[in-house]
Amino acid sequence: MFSGKAEYFDRFEKNDLIMSRTLVESHFSKALSAKLCIRFGHMNKFKAFPGPDAFLMALDICHALVVQDIEGAKKIFLMWRECHRIRN
């Protein structure tokens, strides 16, 4: 339960700087911004989410892209292995 008393915060929480949406979005590429709009643009007030939320959404997109890359690489490897097995 959140009490709001500073004595319960650790040193990171006490010194946490709020990330503005502008600050977070300044680090997004055009491609990542487009993917964010595709993935989360249907949500109400998507453009009004605060910076930390935008950051988490970007992490979600990046994680999904890595998972797709790994799955795609695995499929290609298995196809290659099968073809190599047939030849030998």
pLDDT in tens, 35-81: 888 888 888 888 888 888 888 888 888 887 777 777 777 888 888 88
Over residues 28-32, the mean pLDDT reads 91
HSE-up (13 A, CA, CB side) for residue 15: 3
Q: Is residue 13 over pLDDT 70?
A: no
Domain residue spans in the chain?
Answer: 21-87
Report residue 10 as tokens: 């650790």
User: Of 72, 70, 64, 59, nearest to 24 (Cα)?
Assistant: 59
Determine if the pTM surpasses 0.75. no
Over residues 19-32, the mean pLDDT reads 87
Report residue 29 as tokens: 């590429």
Residue 35 CA to residue 58 CA, distance in Å, equals 9
